[in-house]
A and B are shown apart, each in its own frame.
Chain A
C-alpha cells in the first residue's frame, strides 16, 4: 500500500498570501495518478487537481499542482477567503485509492 504523508499539518496564512502544501509518497507514484481535494466542514471533498497538475472543471487558476515521483505540491497563489479549508492528496494507481492525512489551511 502506498502511504501518503502531507505537510505541514496546519498552515496559518492571511488572505492574499501564497500557500504551498506538500505530499510525499512512500513509493514512486506516476504523476497521472495523483490528485488533490479540498474539503470544507459539512461538505463532501471537492476535486481540485488530477494527474498531478490538471485542474478539474471549474477550478480557478490560482490553484496549481506539480511534482513527480514521490514528491508533489499544491500551490494556491493568492489565498481567497473561501480557500481556508482542509486539503487532501490522493493517489489512485490501478484505481485503488489512498489519501494523505490532510493539511488544514487556516486564517492567521
Chain B
C-alpha cells in the first residue's frame, strides 16, 4: 500500500532551520509532484510549494520564497522540505502530499518554534 512516512516532531529556536523528510513507498515516486502543506494550530491548510522529482524543478508559494527549499532523492524515494529563519508563527504541522486524484498524504510533522 501507499505510504508517506514523515520524520518526527522537532522543537526549534527562532532563527534556526528545520528539515523534514518524507519517505514514500507503494507508488512510483517520480510519477507525481510532491507538495508540502502546513497547518498552524487551529488554522487552515497552507500550500508551501512542490517539486517535480523527475527533474528537480520546484515552485514555491510567494509567501515562502527565499526561506523554503524543497528537494528529493529519487534513489530512496524521499522528499525533503527545509525552512530557514524560523519564527514563532512557523509553529505548525507540516505535511507532504502527492497526487491530487489519489490523495496521498504523510502523517504530518509538528514543528514547534520557541525560545
Contact = CB atoms under 8 A, between A and B. Distances in A.
A57 B44 contact: no
A1 B61 CA distance: 9
Interface in A44-59: 44-47, 50-51, 54, 56-57
The residue in A33, A51, A56, A96 that gathers the most chain B C-beta atoms within 10 A of its C-beta is: A96
Interface of B: 33, 35, 37, 44-47, 50, 59, 62, 95, 100-103, 105-108
B46 to A, nearest CB: 7
A88 B95 contact: no
Nearest to B59: A96
A99 B33 CA distance: 17
Interface of A: 1, 33, 35, 37, 39, 44-47, 50-51, 54, 56-57, 88, 90, 92, 95-102
A66 to B, nearest CB: 17
B50 A88 contact: no
- Report the 4 A-B pairs with minimum CB-CB distance, sorted nearest first: A47-B103, A97-B47, A44-B105, A99-B45
A102 B95 CA distance: 17
Nearest to B46: A99
Contacts of A51: 101
B19 to A, nearest CB: 20
Nearest to A48: B103
Contact of B35 (A35, A37, A46, A97): A97
A21 B3 CA distance: 30
A88 B44 CA distance: 8
Contact of B50 (A1, A35, A44, A95): A95
Contacts of A46: 103, 105
B59 A92 contact: no
A45 B102 contact: no
A93 to B, nearest CB: 10
Contact of A50 (B62, B100, B105): B100
